[in-house]
Amino acid sequence: MQRILVERELTSEGPSSRPPRRGRRSATVNLAESPLSWLHARGHLCDRQFAAAEQLRADWERAQLSAGVTMRWDPVRIKGGPDAGLTRSERQIAARQRFDGAVAAAGPGLSDVLWRVVCAGETLPTAEKALDWPVRSGKLVLKLALDRVAGFYRIG
């Protein structure tokens, strides 16, 4: 994994997006680290929840649901897994069906933070602010959503 380490000022919400001011507390952060891996590395997500998040993000990417700005000419190579033996279009449709099923399993109210953090890569404070939620409420909701998604994907 690539590492992009920078020094950031510590605030009550965690590391800020700006360099530290003189005399302020700071921390070194890895800008290449995803919000999910950050939460998992610090014990806020269990292995099951992290695996569910990674599976959901993989289906999001396989279904090519993110906004595209150009034609993709690169070939998609799948060696195994649930989509082995399918055409490219069939793999994309299957991934879309799994993604939709996982989000539906999370349920309304939980899927918002799930999509923002897992698929869009937003941090929890950013997602909480966008959803107009109280500070530090997103982690609990995200964990509940990931438990349901883990059940959908049958992750033990």
| Residue that is written with structure tokens 């599976």 in the block | 55
Range from 12-16, 40-44, 85-89 carrying the lowest mean pLDDT? 12-16
Based on the fold, state whether residues 83 and 10 are members of the same structural domain: no
Average pLDDT on 139-147 reads 96
Based on the fold, state whether residues 43 and 27 are members of the same structural domain: no
Based on the fold, state whether residues 82 and 27 are members of the same structural domain: no
Average pLDDT on 119-141 reads 92
Give the pLDDT band (50/70/90) at residue 75. low
Q: How many residues does the chain have?
A: 156
SS3 9: strand
Domain count, the chain: 2
Based on the fold, state whether residues 24 and 89 are members of the same structural domain: no
pLDDT for residue 29 is more than 90: no
Burial of 35 (0-12, 13-18, 19+ CB in 10 A): buried
Based on the fold, state whether residues 62 and 134 are members of the same structural domain: yes
Based on the fold, state whether residues 93 and 28 are members of the same structural domain: no
Based on the fold, state whether residues 47 and 119 are members of the same structural domain: yes
pLDDT for residue 74 is more than 70: no
Instruction: Report pTM.
Output: 0.72
Based on the fold, state whether residues 86 and 25 are members of the same structural domain: no
The boundaries of the domain holding residue 144 are: 34-67+75-152
